[in-house]
Structure 1
Amino acid sequence: MRTNIPARLDRLPWCRFHVLLVAALGITWILDGLEVTIVGSIGPILQDPRTLHLSAQAIGGAASVYVVGAVVGALLFGWLTDRFGRKSIFSVTLGIYVIGVLLSAFSWDMRSFMLFRCLTGVGIGGEYAAINSAIDELIPARLRGRVDLIVNGSFWIGAGAGAGASLFLLSGNMMNIDLGWRLGFGVGGVLGLVMLLLRRWVPESPRWLVTHGKHSESHAVIAEIERRVMRCTGASLEAVHESLMVYPRKVFGYRYVLRAMLGQYKMRSLLVLVMMVAQACLYNAVFFTYGMVLTKYEHVSATKVGLFILPIATSNFLGPLLLGKYFDTIGRRRMIFSTYAISGVLMLLVAGLFAGGQLTALTQTLGWAAIFFFASAAASAAYLTASEVFPLETRATAIALFYAFGMIFAAGTPWIFGELIGAGGPVPVAIGYGFAAVLMLVAGFTALRIGVDCEGRSLESIAPPLSSSS
């Protein structure tokens, strides 16, 4: 069949429809940021005998288990998303997250805490695959880069909220600290429940529908989207003349995915893998254990850790917000190189100063804020690249695979840094930071060499659908 749905979606003006879409789906990153920061902030609190009385190694292990759960969730729900559609899966994954995070609030020992953190990770991992593919397929091509970066950067709205909440919940002034850390997880659960209701309004991807043989349904959905946009803007839409021939299939198995990724798109696969591994190692190295670094080396009170995480979270959100437009103007390849390389160089500098004992809690926090202004845009660009450079029928699966590969490489990072912190002085930790910095530099130069110029192009022109050829 011949379809003009991609062109109809890409020519839509930005309006309230897109804002609500981004809000309903982008909650994933806010929730993940809330999770990571709450865990990073409560790490020292969970070592208190009045709470779960965990060791530094156990806290790092719990963070690693969360990452392992995210890998499992991404692989499972990535395939299901390409098989059964975006809309039917992203409600399931958010529901799993809500169950996991609420159960985390009722943990009674190390084993229960790790089990529930793993379940929470399964939900978050599934969300990444389902949501990234849905957003990219519904956002106009000319705005896709900046919107994707801002959505991924919204992780840090959650991180900032988690840091701010920790100051109140973990102070011990308003409530018992054992109740405070539990309420921190409860906040994420309640927010997730609200978003479950909002997502009922989000349509299925018309692009997915047409490539899976649901021709009449795809045209009904795109017609409803256009009606919403015209009601919003009060203007008529320009005619569309571009079309694409597709040969729909109901199932695209891993054989098709791997044949595309390891054959025609093998260099793109290498690019995304390197980018994913680098950013995952960097973030897991820092954020799951930063609370312990501050309390052990800078003698910050465990109840005030959130005060130092808050400016870093703010910088992380400002990076994609302020730099995002340049990914659509200067271009993907040059901006990816710049953000990865600058953050890597700055991290080497901070690691050296940290090893020499020349940083205070304040200067170390300012150093990380500078690093993550660029690293956050780089990490967001990794997810953007994974969702742009592969065919539509494999998009969610490809995102899941590369997310999983990156997380598998980085899964042990929180545990390793827990061991490095427990080992003694700052030099071992600084060496770990230096390794993460080198990975960022490697990723930057890889993007410069084999990156793809996706700015302003439709998804179908970047990677034609598998169904566009018989």
Structure 2
Amino acid sequence: MPADLRGSAVINARIDRLPGWGLPKAAFAILGIAYFVDIYDVSIVGYSLPVLKEHFHLTATQVTVMLTGNLVATALGAILFGFLGDILGRQRSFFLGLGALTVTALLTAVAWDTPSLLVFRVLSGFATGGGIAVVTALVQEFSPAERRGKYLAYNVFWSGVAAVAAAFLSTALVPVENVGWRILFGVGAVALVLMFFTREPIIPESPRWLATRGRLDEADRITTALERRMTAAGHALPAVPDVPPDTASERFPLRLLFRPPYLQRLLVVIGFWFGVQWSVRATITFQPTILTEFGLSLSSGTMLLAIGTLAGVATYCVMPFVIDRVERKKLIVLGLALATLSPLLVTVTSGHPAAVVLGSVLTQVAGPILFVPGFSYAAEVFPTHARASGGSLAGGLGQTGGVLQSVVLVAVAAAGPHVSMLVLAAGYVFAALIIFYLAIPTTGRSLTAISGGRDSAEQVRA
């Protein structure tokens, strides 16, 4: 057993040997609902866009400005909040992100004219961009190595709940003239409640992060509390293994990301998110509108898509039992393949209602298979002192896929819905090729081993 139980690498080893989740179960709910609010805000845009266009008499140019501005702000928000997560800490940046989500949700709900709507939707992109990477870092850094994917899957499950809530609330509220869409956006202000719980003992600062900042006494105190919670629950703790020293901490974590081996990993994750955002943003934002071009009414198309979201929730329930048994990259590629089939099916059948339902089911089933390992991989390939920055920078730059997609889809709209759906599918194919050929194995490995760059030497469970 190491003589000093407070060193950075030893703190990692102490957490990785835990037999379970060391925080209170309430932490799962808080972090999970944060996922919900973030994904919910993104999901309701497509359902509400037709009524927003009518209510505010939006031109095609204004729609493009709103959507593109939101995506650019999402990228900038992701980069900023990720950097803050590595500089100020996970806990404080999480608190700030929840505050931003609350304010922008309320502002959008009270938008009074076109300029205010455009400004508030751009600001909401800034808020949603900062949430996922910091929450993912928190979940992963409190999780033992062999259950890291499982616990993240429990939290990402709330993304599926958000998709269901967005679909069915939109079905009920969007038709309510003048008020429905305001209530729809205002729901995101539930983030305000979460802000009261972002402190110890529910969500303390990450001990892994504290250790890399030299705050070893605090890291030891929080890790000891995790261990005591496990022993109080009747679990026996294995001995702390001897571990090599951790990578030296950087004062400016972004600088580390532009050196090997992290530069290649950064480029892979950027390419992955570029392709995913290209297709997912198109699906969320434009699919309800594209379906109307196939002859379906907006209410019918929305309801058919809503039915498919139930399959997504069911798949999220399965993912905790799969994520740590199958290599991340294999699951990601499978999810991308299923997601590609959905727009192809709708295109071939020219939007037949049965095909829309089946396509929606495929998309929603693909979501958990793609996003649970995707979020996990995008954070765990970076070292602790640059994890939030790396995940956020990659996610932020990957948002350019969504930005370009919004411009391209508007440009090709005149070619008809068949072309639009094929353009929508292209991003999934691109992302699958990136992951299949360039992603490294991470399943079952400790964060210390992954961040140390020992990719070929580590024994990996396929």
**Cross-structure match for 2:209:** 208
Deviation at 1:214, TM superposition (A): 0.2
Counterpart of 1:221 in structure 2: which amino acid?
I
Deviation at 1:351, TM superposition (A): 5.4
SS in 1 for 2:19: coil
User: Taking structure 1 as the reference length, what is the TM-score of the superposition?
Assistant: 0.87
8 Å Cα contact 1:386/1:399 also seen in 2: yes
* Residues in 2 aligned to 1:235 and 1:425: alpha-carbon distance in whole angstroms: 60
8 Å Cα contact 1:33/1:155 also seen in 2: yes
Give the alignment partner of residue 353 of structure 1, picking from 348, 373, 381. Answer: 348
Counterpart of 2:14 in structure 1: which amino acid?
R
Counterpart of 1:329 in structure 2: which amino acid?
R
**Cross-structure match for 2:434:** 446
Q: What are the equivalent positions in structure 2 for 1:91-170 lying under 5 Å apart? A: 91-170=95-174
Deviation at 1:133, TM superposition (A): 1.2
* Residues in 2 aligned to 1:223 and 1:104: alpha-carbon distance in whole angstroms: 43
8 Å Cα contact 1:94/1:124 also seen in 2: no
CA deviations on 1:16-59 (whole Å, 9 max, x unpaired) are 836432321222321122212322111121133xx323245534
Gaps of 5+ in 2: 1-5, 454-462
**Cross-structure match for 1:403:** 395
8 Å Cα contact 1:40/1:291 also seen in 2: yes
**Cross-structure match for 1:72:** 76
8 Å Cα contact 2:343/2:359 also seen in 1: no
8 Å Cα contact 1:277/1:410 also seen in 2: yes
8 Å Cα contact 1:279/1:375 also seen in 2: no
Question: Is 2:418 the partner of 1:427?
Answer: yes
Would the alpha carbon gap of residues 269 and 247 (structure 1) be closer, same or farther in structure 2, given more than 3 Å must change?
closer
Deviation at 1:448, TM superposition (A): 2.8
Question: Is 2:290 the partner of 1:293?
Answer: yes
Question: Is 2:288 the partner of 1:328?
Answer: no
**Cross-structure match for 1:34:** 40
Deviation at 1:293, TM superposition (A): 2.0
Q: Using the TM superposition, name which of 159-168 and 360-369 deviates more.
A: 360-369
Counterpart of 2:388 in structure 1: which amino acid?
A
8 Å Cα contact 2:38/2:132 also seen in 1: no
SS in 2 for 1:411: helix
Question: Is 2:62 the partner of 1:47?
Answer: no
Deviation at 1:411, TM superposition (A): 1.5
Counterpart of 1:333 in structure 2: which amino acid?
K
Question: Is 2:239 the partner of 1:239?
Answer: yes
CA deviations on 1:416-440 (whole Å, 9 max, x unpaired) are 434544x36323313322423xxx2
Q: What are the equivalent positions in structure 2 for 1:244-255 lying under 5 Å apart? A: 244-246=244-246, 249=249, 251-255=251-255
SS in 2 for 1:288: helix
* Residues in 2 aligned to 1:70 and 1:235: alpha-carbon distance in whole angstroms: 42
8 Å Cα contact 1:323/1:377 also seen in 2: yes
Number of residue pairs the alignment of both structures matches:
445
8 Å Cα contact 1:333/1:451 also seen in 2: yes
8 Å Cα contact 1:97/1:119 also seen in 2: no
Deviation at 1:277, TM superposition (A): 1.2
Q: Using the TM superposition, name which of 314-323 and 278-287 deviates more.
A: 314-323
Question: Is 2:375 the partner of 1:387?
Answer: no
8 Å Cα contact 2:81/2:134 also seen in 1: yes
8 Å Cα contact 1:212/1:250 also seen in 2: no
Would the alpha carbon gap of residues 435 and 333 (structure 1) be closer, same or farther in structure 2, given more than 3 Å must change?
closer
Counterpart of 2:294 in structure 1: which amino acid?
Y
SS in 1 for 2:198: helix
Would the alpha carbon gap of residues 36 and 463 (structure 1) be closer, same or farther in structure 2, given more than 3 Å must change?
same
**Cross-structure match for 1:314:** 310
Deviation at 1:387, TM superposition (A): 0.5
Q: What are the equivalent positions in structure 2 for 1:4-43 lying under 5 Å apart? A: 4-14=10-20, 17=23, 19-43=25-49
Deviation at 1:104, TM superposition (A): 0.3
RMSD between superposed Cα atoms in Å: 2.5
Deviation at 1:71, TM superposition (A): 0.7
Deviation at 1:12, TM superposition (A): 2.0
Counterpart of 2:26 in structure 1: which amino acid?
L
Identity among equivalent pairs (%): 27
8 Å Cα contact 2:256/2:262 also seen in 1: no
* Residues in 1 aligned to 2:304 and 2:437: alpha-carbon distance in whole angstroms: 37
* Residues in 2 aligned to 1:38 and 1:427: alpha-carbon distance in whole angstroms: 24
Give the alignment partner of residue 339 of structure 1, picking from 328, 335, 339. Answer: 335
Deviation at 1:91, TM superposition (A): 0.3
Counterpart of 1:195 in structure 2: which amino acid?
L
Deviation at 1:375, TM superposition (A): 4.2
CA deviations on 1:435-466 (whole Å, 9 max, x unpaired) are 23xxx23432332333222111110011139x
Deviation at 1:336, TM superposition (A): 2.5
8 Å Cα contact 2:267/2:394 also seen in 1: no
8 Å Cα contact 1:138/1:205 also seen in 2: yes
Question: Is 2:444 the partner of 1:456?
Answer: yes
Gaps of 5+ in 1: 466-470
Deviation at 1:125, TM superposition (A): 1.0
Counterpart of 2:333 in structure 1: which amino acid?
F
